[in-house]
Amino acid sequence: MSERFTAVPGRRVVSRTSAEELGNLSHVVVDVKRRQVASLVLGKGRKALLIDWDQVSGFGPDAVMVAHDTALHPAGDDREHAAADGKLDLTGKRALSDMGNDLGTITDVVFDPDTGAIESLVIGDLEQPAASLLAVGSFAVILRAPAE
């Protein structure tokens, strides 16, 4: 069953070892080159914490399970800070083709909760395969131009 980015915010994050609730998801960070979920963000702003995808042991419909409480870490580099602030979110971002034409606004992202692989990008009524994703910047998401 595929998951969607818009269904993720607010989902509980629970430690598998302590059964403690660690927080709620706010953002999903994407590794553009691998077209894969890179990490998940808990909370917002300066207090935000990140979990790398490989520390997620189960991405379920009711909770996201992580192996250890220690898997959470604060934002390190500039990119992680930008991600924690939601600046690199794909949803709500302008989609621009590599030919310089607006495609619309990204309304959702479909991914596989087992592997974290991005499957497709939803732009209104359009669904573009993840393979067309070229870059995510603060100005726009760049997609390889759909065949006309």
Shortest distance, position 92 Cβ to another protein, whole Å:
14
Amino acid identity of residue 139, one-letter, is F
| 135 part of the interface to another protein, by CB under 8 A | yes
φ, ψ at 51 (rounded to 5°)? -125, 130
Q: Which is nearer to another protein, 22 or 95 (CB)?
A: 95
Q: Which is nearer to another protein, 67 or 134 (CB)?
A: 134
C-alpha torsion 114→118→120→121, nearest 10: 130
Contact track, another protein, 90-119, x by CB under 8 A: ------xxxxxxx-----------------
DSSP state of 77: S
45 by Cβ neighbours in 10 Å (0-12 / 13-18 / 19+) ranks as: exposed
How many chain residues bind another protein (CB under 8 A)?
Answer: 16
Shortest distance, position 9 Cβ to another protein, whole Å:
22
DSSP state of 117: B
Residues that bind another protein (CB under 8 A): 96-102, 134-142
